[in-house]
Structures are given as C-alpha cells and as structure tokens.
C-alpha cells in the first residue's frame, strides 16, 4: 500500500476475500493446503478470464487479468517443467499393470504426485503423448 501498487493491493485483497470465504465455508481457519487451493483457483479464474477477454477483443482487460495472475502466481509453489512432468508420467505408467494403461487410470496415479506443482492440462497432454507412444511400439 505504501508503495502505491494499486494492482497488487487489489489482487491481494481478492485473495484475502477468498480466504475469508473459505473460513466461513468450513467454520475454521483454512489450512495451508486450503489456502493454496484458494490461490490456485484464483489463478485459474484469471487464466480463464484472459482467454475470454482475448476472444472478445478486450486486450486491456486481458492485460489486467494477466498482471493479477502474475501477482498471485508468486505465492504458489514453483511449477514443474514439462521434462520433470514427463519423468513422473513415464514412471507412473511403467508402474501400472498392462491392462490398466489408459488415460483415466494414469491420471489417477499421477495427479496426487503433481498436485499443485503442475497444470492439469499439461499433465493430461503429456499422458496422452506417453500412452500414444507406448501403443505405437
């Protein structure tokens, strides 16, 4: 506030509102994991808004949402790279029984390991590629 960074102040206030809503929802103080879930949800909402504003030609609103997403992302754990995700995916698929090698069972095995550390869409893409490569062999 003292630095007069209004965008940052407004964005962090929205996060505090999310925490307050979570507190009212559960009737207790949110845990660290629940707070991270709130932040992830806010980042995802910003991403969805960016897509919609871009489609509608509202570049100025998309830029504002992008800046807010960047502020919120600083408070989340570092995301894994595609190569790190690929290594986890390959190990999990190798551990699955031969008959259960489909996207649903692979995602069930992988997502608990990558929860909060990788975007679900990227993980699904890597899983599809890995399963397709495995079938073509």
pLDDT band at 136 (very low <50, low <70, confident <90, very high): low
DSSP state string for 38-93: HHHHHHHHHHHHHHHHHHTT-HHHHHHHHHHHHHHHTTSPPPPPHHHHHHHHHHHH
Q: Do the beta carbons of residue 101 and residue 131 sit within 8 Å? A: yes
CATH number of this structure's domain 6-73: 1.10.1510.10
Q: What pTM did the predictor assign?
A: 0.72
CATH number of this structure's domain 82-136: 1.10.10
Reading the block at residue 74, the tokens are 């600083």
Domain ranges of the chain: 6-73, 82-136
Residue 28, pLDDT > 60, answer yes
Residue 117's closest CA among 30, 53, 33?
33
The 10s digit of each residue's pLDDT in 66-75 is: 999 999 999 9
């Amino acid at each position: 506030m003292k630095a007069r960074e209004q965008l940052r102040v407004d964005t962090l206030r929205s996060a505090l509102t999310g925490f307050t809503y979570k507190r009212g929802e559960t009737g207790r103080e949110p845990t660290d994991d629940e707070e991270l879930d709130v932040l992830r949800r806010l980042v995802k909402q910003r991403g969805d808004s960016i897509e919609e504003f871009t489609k509608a030609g509202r570049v100025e609103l998309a830029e504002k949402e992008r800046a807010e997403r960047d502020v919120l992302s600083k408070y989340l754990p570092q995301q894994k790279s595609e190569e790190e995700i690929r290594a986890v995916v390959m190990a999990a698929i190798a551990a699955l029984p031969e008959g259960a090698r489909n996207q649903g069972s692979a995602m069930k095995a992988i997502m608990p390991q990558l929860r909060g550390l990788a975007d679900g869409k990227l993980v699904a893409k890597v899983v599809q590629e890995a399963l397709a490569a495995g079938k073509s062999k």
